[in-house]
Amino acid sequence: MKEEKNIEKFCKKIIELKLTRRDFLKSSVFLGGSAILLSELEKLYALVEKVSKDKLTTIQQYELSKAENILHTVCLQCNTGCGIKVKLFNGIAAKIDGNPYSPWTMTPHINYQTPLVESTTIDAAICPKGQAGVQTVYDPYRIVKVLKRTGPRGSNKWKTISFEQAINEIVNGGKLFADIGEDRYIEGFKDIWALRDAKISKDMAKAVKEILDEKDKEKKKSLVEEFKIKFKEYLHTLIDPDHPDLGPKNNQFVFMWGRMKAGRSDFVNRFVKDSFGSVNAHGHTTVCQGSLYFAGKVMSYQWDYDEKDAKMKWTKEKKFYWQCDTANSEFIIFVGASPFEANYGPPLRVGKITENLVNKKLKFVVIDPRFSKTAAKAEKWIPIKPGTEAAFALGMIRWIIENKKYDSKYLTNANKAAAKEDKEPTWCNATWLVKIEDGKPGRFLRGSDIGVPKEKRIFKDKKTAEEKHYDFDAFVVLKNYKTITFDPNDENNPVEGDLFVNTEVNGIKVKSAFQILWEEASKNTIEKWAKICGVKADDIIELAKEFTSHGKKAAADIHRGVSQHTNGFYNVYAWLTLNLLIGNYDWKGGMVQLSTFNHLGEKEGQPYNLKKLHPDKMTPFGIDIIRHGEYEKSTLFKGYPAKRPWYPIASDVYQEIIPSIGDAYPYPVKILMMYMAAPTYSLPAGNTNIDVLVDTKKIPLVIACDITIGTSSMYADYIFPDLSYLERWEFHGSHPSVTQKVQPIRQPTIAPLVETVKVFGEEMPICLESVLLAIAEKLGLKGFGKDGFAAGMDFKRPEDFYLKMVANVAYGEKPEGKDSVPDADLKEMKIFYEARRHLPKSVFDPVKWEKACGSEYWKKVVYVLNRGGRFQNYEDAYEAEQAKNKYGKLINLYSEKLAKTKNSMTGETFSGVATFIPITDCLGRPIEDEKEGYNLNLITYREISQCKTRTAPNYWLLSLLPENFILINSQDAKNLGLKDGSIVKVTSASNPDGILDLKNGRKIYIIGKVKVTEGIRPGVVAFSLGYGNWATGSSDYIVDGKLIKGDSRRGKGVHCNPVMRTDPYLKNTCLVDLVGGSVSFYDTKVKLTPIS
């Protein structure tokens, strides 16, 4: 007890400490203030550390290895999310190294229970970007105050205004830019927040769902009329009462984000959806690897009872994907994936690969048009023609089926019981019978089709004990010429079926799913598939042989090179189907999924269910701006093609957000808020977004939250400064190749570098959270402020939210806390406080922290935060030859859901099985730019030393490679008369002048240096991302009338996205994959013109 009191005392002392470091940070808008000369160094230096006479005496223990100088958190220099330790010197992040508790940095990582003091001398591996993180945080071009533009959008003229003024203006609206001659009234949040009644929103949402679900046109119309009568008092809250399915005016607020992780995204969703009532909160998945995620989603649909709809349907799908269990595979095919450079690979995968390579436990091959650093260590490099990835997989599938090298024991299992019998964690629908309708595979054959009546079932609600009756219509397989009906989830009656079925049942033409796959794969000979891919047939055969020679310990691991094509979805589907043929899912060395500790508290017994802790939740409804839904269901349906694509499968369709706003389809948007988003830079043909952003008629109010004036935030009306990744909270989550169950937690490690403001009476730094809290405060939104969670439970500070999440993670997912972490002991409690002695009260107030997570969980929370999250021990991720954290369900080799879904541009249904589709525009027409002389296929890649715009301030990294180049094969170089270092202009059919127009008077020619190499397929040229920035501190700004000179080092090199092909039909958007939503990064044909 005495010791505890001492700790309390100690903690109080910390809070009372005056922090001189803050002085160092007070400055004008930029972290840097105005330009200084070297001679001024002395003054600055004195602020960092008062020079003491003993500064050269030998130190006892290396200060950066003392527990009280180390905080554990998570990197965000890319999205891999490696665990890091931030080493502090006088409150400054002096050095970053790998956190040994994290499975990302070591194999195996140290046990979670290792006392903190024992970990201090163990620094683990992180990549060069991670090492350079302090340069992102301490960036002289970081903004610390709110900026409001004083010239046209994009003009880079700003003034600083107070946080309170900014919040007041964006909430209340008005003639906000009258001072610069813009005589337009801008609606603020209060105007867009039209529908405020949660109950009405729920009722309207229900009525709109009925309208959407009604297939009959006339009935649909009359439902709309009924809606208008029923809600006549609320019609003014709708965007268009004649189209209630557009939803309320609230939807005219759109929040878009670039990189955002859990915690923050939950915060945003709570604000935008639950409290403000807009459906429009969208991420950026499709610019990364959308079609990979959405192929995973399609393959993971289960035929199950849906509580919401009270019926059986395809449900419980996950937006996710698989990667291989890197440490235990014997043979890996990396396709369009380079774990040594990107691919969420380094550092968590590289060490596993190199170790096994040297010990001869692993062989791997790389399929990639570019000879990547991964290819440099591979057994074989296969330089495939971009966009033909599915063809290669289908060639392999053909060989494997023809030679009967597939795992038939696995594939014949039709349901859970059969899988269980074979000790298989998953099963697939290879044997299920599919009806052939109009010559095309469609729905699955059902019991009711062959005279087996639907089963009457009862669902009993656990909580309400209410009983609901529903029908179950069985699926059918054929076994030895007999039909067998079954339930896929039946655990007791194993059903197996024949793999090859092509027959008639009850007069209905049927085929097994596997037969349909075989027909796809056998459409071409292996030689023909090889020809399509531009590879040798022997390569396909050799890989197919090797792939089927390691039991379950082989895997095809795929990433962006497969998914970021117009045919990306089916490329992915083909490769994931290939993995199905050896049934390697959930097996050690096979394909595995990620697993995270639930931070939202949705599992039984967890302390805080944050989805439910909302006093008056809105039900947002209506079509969203990216049209994640079915075109034909909507009241906007006017035949094919749609004005712009609809995405029934994909969500977070990044490239659709701003162009859709530009086209006001499905409706105009009034407020756009961008967070850590650089669509103008990161999207292919992202320059088309600039045209919309600069147009105040198309978007009346643009707000950004950013740490610098970025390539997209420069087009905002207001920029709110944000906290960097070392100053804030997030729950980073995991990646599939991490087999352990984890939850890495990002937390404040240094004092905020931005201005401190007051919201809900609380001091906090300006950041995304404080902006949203302040808007909520001004509007009086439910779900924030006093009693924001529930009566007596306030939501006034970011920590009120995040520490509850930490408590959930610490508690674990088993009832009665059987799974909870230990309490931090006194020693660790002391370290916890001591290591935060430099943090001001505005971010670290121990009393408030403890209150936010609940005293009973406080010591567990400390235990977790001391380690930078929660991480399962290495060995606990496996049981015998299988992964412990299993997917464990049906995997769709054939997707009925997909086969029933219509393409919004052609009106045709999608293929339910993996297939090869050539590169096309959104109407399905081939793109024939070669005919106009654009004959080089442009692709992108990533240097490990760069991310995208966020690494621009990293001078150490720039010293490795000050500018990027355009890789070209020596044969092509010779043909074009190019040499190493030759300067070329890059042009395409949709950007024949090779120009990026910033719409502020500045035009940038897409000009770069070539690097002649043998390491790229002839006919293909490549550039690495992260270079050619036109903002983010690379060019000049004016703030408060003062010129801030940009630093040209940050903008060197070439960024070719602006020449990437726009879709000929859409015009203001890049080429897209209509199924998985992916943007095309690798299908543009360009011309290189030498510049003398």
Partner 1 sequence: MSTKIKEDILIRMQNDLKRALTKPVEKRKWAMLIDLRKCVGCHACTIACKAENVLPPGVVYRRVLEIESGKYPDVERHFVPVLCNHCDKTPCVDACPVKATKKRVDGIVDIDYNHCIGCRACLNACPYGARTSDFGKFYTQDTPKIQPYELRPAFEYQKKWYRKKGNSPIGNARKCHFCLHRIESGLLPECVVTCIGKATYFGDIEDKSSLIFEIINSNNVKVLKEKLKLKPRVYYIGLKEELL
Within 14-33, which residues bind partner 1 (CB under 8 A)?
24, 27, 30-33
Applying the rule CB under 8 A, the residues between 352 and 381 that interact with partner 1 are 354-355, 357-358, 371, 373-377, 381
Which of 732, 752, 680 is CA-nearest to residue 258?
Answer: 680
Single residue of 107, 251, 289, 740 touching partner 1 by CB under 8 A: 107
* DSSP single-letter state for residue 273: I
Single residue of 35, 117, 790, 826 touching partner 1 by CB under 8 A: 35
Applying the rule CB under 8 A, the residues between 580 and 619 that interact with partner 1 are 588
Closest CB 368 distance from partner 1, rounded Å: 12
Instruction: Annotate each residue in 829-858 with x if it binds partner 1 (CB under 8 A) or - if it does not, as one string.
Output: ------------------------------
Is 99 an interacting residue with respect to partner 1 (CB under 8 A)?
no
For 219, phi then psi, to 5°, come to -65, -35
Write out the two tokens for 104.
């990302």
What torsion, rounded to 10 degrees, do the Cα atoms 789, 794, 798, 802 define?
-50
Applying CB under 8 A, the span of 130-138, 546-554, 707-715, 1000-1008 interacting with partner 1 comes to: 130-138
Closest CB 603 distance from partner 1, rounded Å: 26
Applying the rule CB under 8 A, the residues between 857 and 876 that interact with partner 1 are 874-875
Is 1044 an interacting residue with respect to partner 1 (CB under 8 A)?
yes
Closest CB 23 distance from partner 1, rounded Å: 13
- Residue 207's region, left for phi above 0, alpha for psi from -120 to 50, else beta, is alpha
Is 41 an interacting residue with respect to partner 1 (CB under 8 A)?
yes
Applying CB under 8 A, the span of 137-145, 183-191, 259-267, 596-604 interacting with partner 1 comes to: 137-145
The amino acid that residue 652 corresponds to is D
What three-state secondary structure class fits 640? Answer: coil
Single residue of 10, 138, 640, 1005 touching partner 1 by CB under 8 A: 138
Q: What is the DSSP string of 287-308?
A: HHTHHHHHHHHHHT-EEEEETT
Interhelix angle 290-299/568-581, nearest 10 degrees: 50
Is 114 an interacting residue with respect to partner 1 (CB under 8 A)?
no
**Which H helix or E strand runs over 762?**
strand 762-765
Single residue of 112, 227, 271, 340 touching partner 1 by CB under 8 A: 340
Single residue of 67, 106, 391, 821 touching partner 1 by CB under 8 A: 106
Applying CB under 8 A, the span of 198-206, 249-257, 340-348, 886-894 interacting with partner 1 comes to: 340-348
Applying the rule CB under 8 A, the residues between 928 and 957 that interact with partner 1 are 944-945, 955-957
Closest CB 381 distance from partner 1, rounded Å: 7
Which of 328, 333, 322 is CA-nearest to residue 543?
Answer: 333
Which of 392, 1010, 138, 320 is CA-nearest to residue 734?
Answer: 320
Which of 295, 291, 303 is CA-nearest to residue 890?
Answer: 303
The amino acid that residue 363 corresponds to is K
What three-state secondary structure class fits 117? Answer: helix
Contact assessment for residue 682 and residue 287, using Cβ atoms and an 8 Å cutoff: yes
Applying the rule CB under 8 A, the residues between 1056 and 1075 that interact with partner 1 are none
Single residue of 15, 22, 63, 665 touching partner 1 by CB under 8 A: 63
Instruction: Annotate each residue in 996-1015 with x if it binds partner 1 (CB under 8 A) or - if it does not, as one string.
Output: -----------------xxx
Single residue of 313, 1018, 1040, 1064 touching partner 1 by CB under 8 A: 1018
Is 1040 an interacting residue with respect to partner 1 (CB under 8 A)?
no
Closest CB 610 distance from partner 1, rounded Å: 35
What three-state secondary structure class fits 721? Answer: strand
Interhelix angle 2-16/846-853, nearest 10 degrees: 120
Single residue of 14, 70, 75, 92 touching partner 1 by CB under 8 A: 92
Distance in angstroms between the alpha carbons of the first and the last residue of the chain: 79
Applying the rule CB under 8 A, the residues between 419 and 438 that interact with partner 1 are none
Is 185 an interacting residue with respect to partner 1 (CB under 8 A)?
no
Q: Which residues of 894-928 are buried (b: 16+ CB within 10 A; e: fewer)?
A: bbbbbbebbbbbeeebbbbbbbbbbbbbbbeeebe
The amino acid that residue 1072 corresponds to is V
Applying CB under 8 A, the span of 84-92, 222-230, 402-410, 425-433 interacting with partner 1 comes to: 84-92
Applying the rule CB under 8 A, the residues between 444 and 503 that interact with partner 1 are none
Size of the site for partner 1 (CB under 8 A): 102
Closest CB 32 distance from partner 1, rounded Å: 2
Is 94 an interacting residue with respect to partner 1 (CB under 8 A)?
yes
For 912, phi then psi, to 5°, come to -85, -5
For 231, phi then psi, to 5°, come to -110, 30
Single residue of 17, 23, 108, 980 touching partner 1 by CB under 8 A: 108
Is 321 an interacting residue with respect to partner 1 (CB under 8 A)?
no
Instruction: Annotate each residue in 871-910 with x if it binds partner 1 (CB under 8 A) or - if it does not, as one string.
Output: ---xx--x-xx-----------------------------
Closest CB 757 distance from partner 1, rounded Å: 22
Is 980 an interacting residue with respect to partner 1 (CB under 8 A)?
no
Write out the two tokens for 57.
């005496």
CA distance 816 to 330: 41
Is 203 an interacting residue with respect to partner 1 (CB under 8 A)?
no
CA distance 72 to 838: 15
Single residue of 15, 19, 48, 180 touching partner 1 by CB under 8 A: 48
CA distance 965 to 591: 35
CA 376 to chain centre: 28
The amino acid that residue 809 corresponds to is V
The answer, yes or no, to whether the previous bond of 666 is cis (omega within 30 of 0) is yes
